Amino acid sequence: MKKFNPWQWLVFSFIILIISGAILLKAPWIEHQNGLSWTDAFFTSTSAVCVTGLTSVSTTGFNIWGQLTILLLLQTGAIGIMTLTTSFFLFIKRNVGTKYKLSFAQTSHTFDLYEARIILKRIIILTWMIEFIGFILLSIGFLIQGLDPGGAMFHALFHSASAFANAGFSTFENSLTGTHLLVKITVMILIALGGLGYFVLYEISTKKKLFKKYSLHTKIVLLTSIILWAGGFIFFLMSEGRDIPVIDALFLSVTARTAGFNTIEMSSLSYASVFLLFILMFIGASPGSTGGGIKTTNAFVMIYSIWSLLKGRTTVTVFNRTIPLRFIMKAFATATLFFIIISIASVLLLEWNDFSLVPVLFEVISALGTVGLSLGITSELNEAGKWIIILLMFIGRVGPASLALAVMMRQKEAKIKYPEEEIF
């Protein structure tokens, strides 16, 4: 029997977990107030595992066991099936081939095998530590909001995990609309930390160096993230004016990068704000994070490459480091693939559902970017439409990572090099 490579393990593990989640959600002890079809069970399971947050049925409609199942699925998805599989290889199946043991370290382009082992441990510890602090702060916020202690603790536990996972699932009917200021601030911080990526958090928490001492990857992630958060915040304030509070403008800028929570009614936003959300959702979070999108590093590499080209440079140099051509090609290839998938999915949804272009395009980008924001059409999609969104959420979560692993494993130098010739 042919052994799976890490790329195949990643895809296969996600499929197994999604199927298992759907079966669990259909278990007799799990109930939904409006009933749950198999399509909705798969939709909810995929959204939770792929930490998206789009819901075809209300999360509040599930009983306690259903909500706990969703919590378990999104927590597992946040940690990452690749991480769990690598942990399994490194700590349980110690006889697995060196090829597989090295795969995790290779994907980071920074850490060796020994450090990869440390990272796997720290991922679990860091996740639980951050979520525990979030749980404490959210519990206080919900208590101030007027919830009873038991309810406050449950909602805090669920939202802490969901926020750090950038999942966007909420146990409230209107997400975080009308919640206490402490809740909004805590959720924003959890989203931001979850979206930075484990490699960045690992470097910051262990090396504790000044910015100029960090690796190029960490510098690019931090710089791009700050620009997107600040830029989005300022734009939303200018676009919405007095219709949006300052804290909600900042929250929208943070959550749009794959989290999916909302503190305002999305349908009330102007077209200019919706268009910016398209861009933020398309870019998404950072590599190794709980979020999706084409990734902040890819967006940075693309924009900086164009800027370098316009300035007549033959190489792309940033922070006194040259970015290899293969990474530039991968960045543009990833963005192009996303654009093609968005185009095809949008056409199919428009053909099979009676919706206008803007909400359909918003839904498609949100699903592929594993964001979870919606203009309110998710529950109104027909069966075919829901399965398209399911597929988009799956591709958005495992696609970029699978592509990276596949390219890494198949990468080889050409044995024959042909003469160059310019084209117009």
pLDDT tens digits for 399-410? Answer: 766 665 555 555
Lowest model confidence (mean pLDDT) among 180-184, 234-238, 239-243, 388-392: 239-243
Residue 333 and residue 399 in contact, taking contact as beta carbons nearer than 8 Å: no
pLDDT value for 407: 57
SS3 355: coil
Report percent pLDDT > 90 for the chain: 54
Residue 314 domain flag: yes
Q: Are 77 and 164 in contact (CB under 8 A)?
A: no
Instruction: Indicate the average pLDDT of the chain.
Output: 85
The pLDDT of residue 93: 41
- Confidence class of residue 282 from pLDDT cuts 50, 70 and 90? very high
Cβ neighbours for 215, distance < 8 A, ≥ 6 positions apart: 110, 203
CA nearest 350: which of 361, 337, 366? 361
Which pLDDT tens digit goes with each residue over 67-81?
A: 999 999 998 888 765
Residue among 305, 380, 302, 75 at smallest CA distance from 293: 302
Task: Confirm if 405 and 10 have CB atoms less than 8 A apart.
Answer: yes
Domain-embedded: residue 415: no
Buried b (16+ CB within 10 A) or exposed e, 32-60: beeebeebbbbbbbbbbbbbbbbbbbebe
CA distance 99 to 253: 41
Residue 82 scores a pLDDT above 80: no
Q: For position 106, what pLDDT does the model report? A: 43
- Of 1-5, 190-194, 239-243, 399-403, where does the model show the most confidence? 190-194
Which SS3 state, helix, strand or coil, does residue 168 take? coil
pLDDT band for 90, please (50, 70, 90 cuts).
very low
Task: Look up residue 256 and give its amino acid.
Answer: A
Q: Can you state the angle between helices 64-79 and 113-145, rounded to 10 degrees?
A: 150
Hey, what's the torsion of the CAs at 24, 30, 32, 33, to 10 degrees? Answer: 170
* Phi then psi dihedrals of residue 69, to 5 deg: -65, -45
Q: Measured between alpha carbons, how far is 9 from 85 in angstroms, rounded to an integer?
A: 7
Alpha-carbon distance 309 to 217, whole Å? Answer: 21
246: pLDDT strictly greater than 50? yes
**Range of weakest confidence among 1-5, 133-137, 288-292, 344-348:** 1-5
Nearest C-alpha neighbor of 45 from the set 21, 80, 65 = 21
**Per the domain annotation, does 229 fall within a domain?**
yes
Distance CA 111, CA 96 (A): 20
Confirm whether 412 is domain-assigned: no
The yes-or-no verdict on residue 174 having pLDDT over 70 is yes
Rounded to whole angstroms, the maximal C-alpha distance in the chain is 74
Instruction: Summarize pLDDT for 301-344 with one digit per residue, the tens.
Output: 999 999 999 998 888 888 888 998 888 998 998 899 999 999 99
Residues 77, 203: Cα–Cα separation, whole Å: 22
pLDDT at 198: 77
Number of domains in the chain: 1
pLDDT attached to residue 382: 92
What tens digit of pLDDT does each residue of 200-215 get?
887 887 766 677 778 8
Q: How far is CA 336 from CA 8, 307, 342, in A?
A: 23, 19, 10
Structure tokens belonging to residue 236: 């939303």
1 inside domain: no
Domain extent at residue 286: 6-407
Percent share of the chain, pLDDT over 70: 84
**Measuring CA to CA, which residue among 260, 255, 406, 253 is closest to residue 337?**
406
Which helix (DSSP H) or strand (DSSP E) does residue 314 occupy? none
Per-residue pLDDT, 411: 56
Nearest CA to 169 out of 290, 325, 26 is that of 290
Per the domain annotation, does 422 fall within a domain?
no
Yes or no: say if 155 and 110 are a contact pair by the CB < 8 Å rule: no
- Confirm whether 418 is domain-assigned: no
Q: How many alpha carbons lie under 13 Å from residue 282 in its C-beta half-sphere?
A: 21
Is there a domain that residue 310 lies in?
Answer: yes
What is the rounded distance in angstroms from the CA atom of residue 55 to the CA atom of residue 235? Answer: 28
Angstrom distance (rounded) from CA 214 to CA 201: 11
